[in-house]
Structure 1
């Protein structure tokens, strides 16, 4: 029985890719709620009409450069890696300020953010929404 399960797992890991990147085009509408999928959102909460530059990527995927007005966000979804190595990082900037942060690190975020991994960029840091830890915002990066 154990040999059969091992063979099934091996076949699944060959057939099923470790992640899928799907840009979410709309700021409204249905959400991807599959348990093995994550939605990451990086939102401009700088205020005062400040435009936020965002450039996010992983080892394999470049999500491109985006310029977000206050309240706008960039959002994408993906399937997590079966080996737990999914990592996305972002470069952000406004005026003469530039920072980088890990928008999604599977080791840190898999159990914290549920399916919705929302990030809020504010003048003093990057805040993460902890969906599974009391539905609260926590400053994860300070600048």
Structure 2
């Protein structure tokens, strides 16, 4: 009896620890990283931004030219993850989805680089600005 209780305690402790770490390590789901980069010309001023999801408000940020802001989250297969950002640069602005699991049409990546440039907002799926593609123009 005592041996059985000890085994149950050890097993419970093990699984509790494993599930506690799951939240940090994305064991059962991909870890997604989103990065927003101020890639505006030198001397053009700062980029204001606000990003959020239904559950997480990442707050207001001010990025100087060359600065970036990034965050990581676990994209659980049962969730409908959506993150959006609103960017302001002087009188120009743009609000858009930076990650929408439902609209990715099976083309999900684990890294998204959004870069604000003078003519619009660009997207890449690596940490290099070499492969950026223009997605949005400023409003």
When the two structures are superposed, what TM-score results if normalisation uses the length of structure 2?
A: 0.69
For residue 72 of structure 1, what is the aligned residue in structure 2? 67
For residue 30 of structure 2, what is the aligned residue in structure 1? 36
**Mapped contact 1:33–1:115 kept (Cα < 8 A):** no
Candidates 98, 101, 104, aligned match of 1:103: 98
Cα displacement (A) at 1:68: 0.3
- SS of the equivalent of 1:114 reads coil
Supply the RMSD in Å over aligned alpha carbons: 3.1
Partners in 1 of 2:103 and 2:68 — Cα distance?
A: 22
Candidates 34, 42, 46, aligned match of 1:48: 42
- SS of the equivalent of 2:102 reads helix
Count of residue pairs the alignment pairs up: 115
**Mapped contact 1:113–1:130 kept (Cα < 8 A):** no
**Mapped contact 1:130–1:138 kept (Cα < 8 A):** no
When the two structures are superposed, what TM-score results if normalisation uses the length of structure 1?
A: 0.67
Partners in 2 of 1:43 and 1:113 — Cα distance?
A: 20
Partners in 2 of 1:128 and 1:87 — Cα distance?
A: 16
Higher normalized helix content (fraction of residues): 2
For residue 83 of structure 1, what is the aligned residue in structure 2? 78
Give the unaligned 5+ runs of structure 2.
Answer: 1-18
Larger Rg: 2
Give the unaligned 5+ runs of structure 1.
Answer: 1-15, 23-31
Cα displacement (A) at 1:57: 0.2
